[in-house]
Amino acid sequence: MTAFKVLLYYCYTTIEEAEVFALEHLDYCKAIGLKGRIIVAQEGINGTVSGTTEACETYMQFLKSDKRFAAIEFKIDDINEHVFHKMHVRVKPEIVHLGVRGENALDPNKRTGKHLSPQEFLSMKDRNDVVVVDMRSNYEYELGKFKNAITLGLENFRDLPDHLHQLEPYKGKKILTYCTGGIKCEKASALLLEHGFEEVYQLHGGVVKYAQETGGVDFEGELYVFDGRIKVGVNKVNPTIISNCYVCGVVSTRMVNCANPDCNIHTTLCEKCGIEYDGGCSVECKEHPRKRPYNEKGYYPKPAIDYL
């Protein structure tokens, strides 16, 4: 048994006094030695944490013992060490930011797309009456995605409402949505239903669960993850690499942030170009007066992403 594990989870459930809950939850996580990033809102909880096998087992039992979180399904990966540096629990308006709130707020517990198990998703995804749609941001799907999946060019998930028109030609088809762990699709599929799409489905547990239960067949490239690993392998059946260096175009899966803080683009940059451009993604960024010193890893904090 490996010494550490990483847990990915979410739960849409009502949390009254979210600020009080967040403070108490932070203290508990620190007390048992967890590190990670948890978002709390009145609509639920969304987290990725790492810790020893014992600490993770304790944490899962702790959450499951609370009836509000009884429905949580944990996606669990074996790791060799912590994949976070600190423990953060933050209160936000939503556990995944879509920006559709107020009287138009989406409640996945009341309406969402039909959940498909990984095996059901696999059996449906290549049918002629089906369209597979990636609900993640551009830097995620550029690293890896399902074969023939439609991508929407999202810089952030909150941009989704402005990009739904791209799916209008497919209103007569079954829409199969997917994301990393399932949380984005809960709201994305609900939004599609609100906009007149009638047959909307979502990959239950996301690509993470799909990889565990199907061997990741037909997922091209690697999976971007929101922890210190940055990316993980998915496909053990017919693996490929689809990502290329942002600068020179050579095949590369090396994800970095541009060393220029005013750019800070998160993209692929091969080691050669990293050295040549001193961590920048262009000549302009290399010569920028505020450019951060290149550390040969290219990991710099992006706004609101603490694991980097």
Residues carrying an active site annotation: 179
Query: CA 104, CA 303: separation in Å to the nearest integer?
Result: 27
Q: List, as one string, the DSSP characters of the chain.
A: --SEEEEEEEEE---SSHHHHHHHHHHHHHHTT-EEEEEEETTEEEEEEEEEHHHHHHHHHHHHTSGGGTT---EEEEESS-S-SSEEEEE-S-SS-----GGG---TTTS-PEEE-HHHHHHHTTSTTEEEEE-S-HHHHTTEEETT-B----SSGGGGGGGGGGGGGGTTSEEEEE-SSSHHHHHHHHHHHHTT--SEEEETTHHHHHHHHHTTTTEEE-EE-SSTT-EE---SSS-----B-TTT--B---EEE-S-TTT--EEE--HHHHHHTTT-SSHHHHT-TTPPPP-SS---PBTTBTT-
3-state secondary structure of 145: strand
